[in-house]
Structure 1
Amino acid sequence: MTTTQPEAFTVHRAENNTSDVSAILPPAGHFIAGTFVPGAASTAPIDVVNPATEEVIASVHAGTAADVDAAVAAAVSAQRTWGNTTPKERADVLNLIANIIEANRAAFEAIESANTGKPAAVVEDDVTSTIDTFRFMAGASRTLTSMAGGDYATDHTSVILREPVGVVGVITPWNYPLLMAAWKIAPILAAGNSLVLKPSEQTPLSTLKLAEVLAGRIPNGILNVVTGQGRTVGQRISEHPDIALVALTGSVVSGQSVAETAARSVKRVHLELGGKAPVVVFPDADLRAAAAGVRNAGFWNAGQDCGAACRVLVHESVAEEFTRNLVSEVSTLVVGAPEAGDDVEIGPMISRPHFERVKAALSEARAAGLTMAVGGSALDGTGYFIEPTVITDVPAGAAIATHEIFGPVVTVETFSSEEEAVARANESPYGLSASVWTRDSSLSLRIPKQLDFGTVWVNAHLVLACEVPWGGFKGSGYGRDLSLYALDDYSRTKHVMINHGA
């Protein structure tokens, strides 16, 4: 298939392309037992960089194992009381957290935008979703049900108790720093646990800001934050004997490391890892709607989303028309720094190393002779910007279509039969999400059952709600975020049987 290459993208920048958030930055220390502390050792600070300007906007402490130990001790002490509170008492705290975030919305949006380079629409959605996550979990925690108590053995009454697991270690990623923290903090606290959280060293600021605005407003020690590198802070969290469960959102490599370490003490692990979401477009689909859907879901947050619609499988009979529509859609995306205006849709890659990884993937695709229907290059100037890219004529098994790029890159492959479409979609080592595009009601029911992914959308992609679970199969990990299923993951059940016949 061939398309006409559109005009090159440019980076939109404000006249004064800086984002001064110095007046609202949180303290740089670790947050332990309700207060900020400098840490146990003198280590080199970690610089936090604005990826749109490449300027250092803050520095945070590089935590040590001793810092984690102090945070865990605070969490253990706090959990004894917190775990004995009623669901209503915990719900009141979660609603308070939501209200505090809402009251500080502007600060959170500014910090998140400066730390990640996200456009206004993305950070607004992040903060709104964060607030909704806490409010949902506040209500959900009061509606849990279990197996009915009763006599299941003669003269013995059984009662099923739902208990907190204890202290939970949390490791969050750089792509949605505040929102992914909320996805963990809300159900963990709702279930009666305390936690020690390590944010990504690249994007710790909104999590520290959350700790700052909650200090003195929620019980001390139930939420602790230790900044630092994964090889020290993350490692200690994974191995700590007083941590009952480790929850991580991150790469497959990170998940494997955490699971391996946690296995030594047989602690539970909750992993939400990578994805390479197939978008299966059948010949009867609304091709314009499908192309618009990929424009939105493939390039949201500059494609730095584990559920991004990044791998299109389209029936060969409509591939040319679909690709023409997709290229037209993607060509209208506006790339730029968040300060350049509300029309900016695509921000930068999060860091120089990630920027280089995406560039390398594009170079490899070009060297393999694949067609860059739109984009395909890095953009010159300050900031880690990559052109929105659509790669066509992609053969089965191509590296660009099987490995997670995690950038604004969508590939297009073709298939000839329903069976081939399902087999090709399922050949991915990931199993997080997928979508199916068809007007055929039979296909819309039949195909999702055959796809090996934790979420399958029909005629939509990347639509989330707190009421429904999010999580994957295969290399995408296990455990569920959001919904009542998350509360199950952060709870344990205990059977109490009472002999009343003696």
Structure 2
Amino acid sequence: MTATQTEQFTVQPFTVRRSSGSPDIAGVLPPAGHFINGSFVPGSTGLLIDVVDPTTEAVIASVQAGTADDVDVAVAAAVVAQKTWGATTPKERADVLNLIANIIEENREAFQVIESANTGKPQAVSEDDVSSTIDTFRFMAGASRTLTSMAGGDYATDHTSVILREPVGVVGVITPWNYPLLMAAWKIAPILAAGNSIVIKPSEQTPLSTLKLVEVLAGRIPDGILNVVTGRGRTVGQRLSEHPDIALVALTGSVVSGQAVAETAAKSVKRVHLELGGKAPVVVFPDADLRAAAAGVRNAGFWNAGQDCGAACRVLVHESVAEEFTEHLIREVSTLAIGAPDAGDDVEIGPMISLPHYERVKESLAEARAAGLNIALGGSALEGPGYFIEPTVISNVPAGAHIATHEIFGPVVTVETFSSTEEAVTRANESPYGLSASVWTRDSSLSLRIPKQLDFGTVWVNAHLVLACEVPWGGFKGSGYGRDLSLYALDDYSRTKHVMINHGA
């Protein structure tokens, strides 16, 4: 793509739409303590962590810097509560999950305001997060009553076997900053549905919606089944991973975080559920609807400002249509509106979550420039307060380029070319990640054959980043193991027991 070609459709410089005033969230902020055994309690040290609005860089709240002692108190409460909760029937647990969904629905506006203030998400993203959270609890309420297992029967002469599905016990949960409420729901709903209790550590950068959740649930669900300890990973997360009374640790986060949790958990041989990073390839074949593919990358590559482990961030397009596709993509991405959550319903791109992450994304872009890569659109930070990065398209990226293989986790899409189907598959699979990918083609044979050859937990055809509670989400390779959503999540958070009865004596 040359400068002359780009100018044919007049790309306007990106600007940030600013808020007309500081959003007033004081009336909906949750208490700042830990939530243990049904009540908010102070931390053991009184030390606090500031929570920053990434749109304005202003401190909007402070939460407790939790300690190992705080975790121990929460786990003790969860152990006691789980004994009663684990003995309930699936219907009783389903009733509680439906109640949680109803309570979130009743407080929808507060959750949307908090999520946008804490993360800088545009209104459309926060609204979708809250709707998806409600749907997750409703789905798991129904799914909890449909657990399947091997049929009971006589598999040895005069012995009847029964297969039981049991809770694992207390589950430690560590959630990320990119979807604070939704990722909490993806863990809380199936874990409770399976009869377990929980101690959850939200990201110290985005703890507010999780604290709001337990605030509105207090006194309306059994005490002790859902506990929250805020704090940093190296203290709270570490203690959850090593605690002898925690049976399983579930984490959504970075590969480095997942490796640390798995290493610590291995010492006590506890189970681990990991949903880690991604670098999703988008394979565009020459027969594809190029306009639709470009629109798909616009939506799935830049949703939540690209801070999504399934983001469509690495395009592999056939060399014969690469120039045309790139032109469509630049045209699409150039129309994205950047700004504060309350700067208009049409704002689509918010800020990076924090100053350190903002600096990491800027460093990746600087490395791309230093390597001589062609930044076809964007590529810079935006002036003024907030951690805003221009939506960026980097074209003509050579095979193996660093920016195309490591996770940037920002509004950056790279475009590479391939010459044969075999090369496309090989290059797509070279990634150390294996979370998601997409294939764009009108060829029915390719649409069936290529997904089987791609080493990713989810492969879309002529779509990207479309999710549903009924189907599993999780990866291969460096993206971890275990499945969120669907009945497979309930399997992950339960254990199988075989009971054999001798009736021939």
Q: Give the TM-score category using the shorter length.
A: over 0.9
Supply the distance in 1 between the matched residues of 2:388 and 2:46 (Cα, whole angstroms).
35
1:289 aligns with 2:292: yes
1:9 aligns with 2:19: no
SS in 2 for 1:261: helix
Kindly report which structure 2 residues correspond to 1:295-374, keeping only aligned pairs within 5 A, or say none: 295-374=298-377
1:219 aligns with 2:219: no
Bigger drift between 195-204 and 335-344 goes to 335-344
Supply the distance in 1 between the matched residues of 2:490 and 2:150 (Cα, whole angstroms).
16
Offset of residue 29 of structure 1: 0.1
Supply the distance in 1 between the matched residues of 2:402 and 2:118 (Cα, whole angstroms).
31
Offset of residue 40 of structure 1: 1.7
The alignment of Structure 1 onto Structure 2 pairs a total of residues equal to: 500
User: What residue in structure 1 maps to residue 128 of structure 2?
Assistant: 125
Structure 2 counterpart of 1:178, from 167, 181, 202: 181
Offset of residue 42 of structure 1: 3.1
Structure 2 counterpart of 1:24, from 28, 39, 44: 28
Supply the distance in 1 between the matched residues of 2:383 and 2:403 (Cα, whole angstroms).
23
- 2:295 corresponds to which letter in structure 1? A
Offset of residue 15 of structure 1: 2.5
Supply the distance in 1 between the matched residues of 2:444 and 2:138 (Cα, whole angstroms).
35
Q: Deviations over 1:334-356 (max 9, x none)?
A: 00011111010000000000000
Offset of residue 7 of structure 1: 2.3
1:447 aligns with 2:450: yes
TM-score (norm 2): 0.99
Alignment RMSD: 0.6
User: What residue in structure 1 maps to residue 42 of structure 2?
Assistant: 38
Kindly report which structure 2 residues correspond to 1:200-211, keeping only aligned pairs within 5 A, or say none: 200-211=203-214
Offset of residue 140 of structure 1: 0.4
SS in 1 for 2:27: helix
User: What residue in structure 1 maps to residue 259 of structure 2?
Assistant: 256
Q: Deviations over 1:453-481 (max 9, x none)?
A: 00000000000000000000000000000
1:274 aligns with 2:260: no
User: What residue in structure 1 maps to residue 386 of structure 2?
Assistant: 383
1:423 aligns with 2:426: yes
TM-score (norm 1): 0.99
1:163 aligns with 2:203: no
Q: Deviations over 1:201-245 (max 9, x none)?
A: 000000000000000000000000000000000000000000000
User: What residue in structure 1 maps to residue 98 of structure 2?
Assistant: 95
Supply the distance in 2 between the matched residues of 1:452 and 1:364 (Cα, whole angstroms).
28
Offset of residue 182 of structure 1: 0.1
1:237 aligns with 2:202: no
- 1:136 corresponds to which letter in structure 2? F
Q: Deviations over 1:169-205 (max 9, x none)?
A: 0000000000000000000000000000000000000
- 2:479 corresponds to which letter in structure 1? S
SS in 1 for 2:447: helix
1:105 aligns with 2:108: yes
Identity %: 86
Offset of residue 41 of structure 1: 2.1
Q: Deviations over 1:232-284 (max 9, x none)?
A: 00000000000000000000000000000000000000000000000000000
| Unaligned runs of at least 5 residues, structure 2 | none
User: What residue in structure 1 maps to residue 71 of structure 2?
Assistant: 68
Supply the distance in 2 between the matched residues of 1:142 and 1:326 (Cα, whole angstroms).
45
SS in 2 for 1:271: strand
Offset of residue 14 of structure 1: 2.7
Q: Deviations over 1:428-472 (max 9, x none)?
A: 000000000000000000000000000000000000000000000
Q: Deviations over 1:403-431 (max 9, x none)?
A: 00000000000000000000000000000
